A and B are shown apart, each in its own frame.
Chain A
Amino acid sequence: MNGSKHDRAGRAEPATVRFSFTPAAAYVRAARLVAADVAAHAGVATGLLDEVRQAVGEACTRAVLRHRDRGIDELVRVEFSIGDRFVAKITDNAQDLRARSGGRVAAGMAGGERRANDHEAIEEDTLSEEITLIVLGGLVEDLVVTGPDAQGRTTVSMSWPLPGSGSSTDH
Chain B
Amino acid sequence: MRGTSGDGAAEPELGLGLSTVGDYAVISVTGEIDMYTAPKLREAVRQLSSEGRLKVAIDLTPTEFCDSTGLGVLIGARRRLSDAGGSLVVVCANPRIRKLLDLTGLDKVLDVREAVPGE
Do chains A and B stick together as partners?
A: yes
Q: Which residues of A contact B (CB under 8 A)?
A: 25-30, 50, 53-54, 57-58, 61, 64-65, 109, 120-121, 123-125, 127-128, 131-132, 134-135, 138-139
A138 and B104 contact, CB distance less than 8 A: yes
- Within 35-50 of B, Cβ neighbours of A (below 8 Å) are at 35-36, 38-39, 42
For B75, the closest partner residue in chain A by CB is A127
Q: Which residues of B contact A (CB under 8 A)?
A: 1-3, 13, 32, 34-36, 38-39, 42, 65, 67-69, 71-73, 75-76, 80, 96, 100, 103-105, 109
A57 and B36 contact, CB distance less than 8 A: no
- The residue from B35, B65, B109 contacting A64, defined by CB atoms under 8 A apart: B35
A57 and B1 contact, CB distance less than 8 A: no
Contacts known (A26-B2, A50-B96, A138-B103); A132 close to B36, Cβ less than 8 A: no
- The residue from B67, B68, B76 contacting A120, defined by CB atoms under 8 A apart: B76
For A137, the closest partner residue in chain B by CB is B103
A120 and B80 contact, CB distance less than 8 A: yes
- The residue from A29, A57, A120, A131 contacting B71, defined by CB atoms under 8 A apart: A131
A26 to B38, CA, bound (A): 11
B36 and A135 contact, CB distance less than 8 A: no
A128 and B103 contact, CB distance less than 8 A: no
Contacts known (A109-B105, A120-B80, A135-B104); A128 close to B13, Cβ less than 8 A: no
A50 proximity list for chain B (CB < 8 A): 96
A125 proximity list for chain B (CB < 8 A): 35, 69, 72
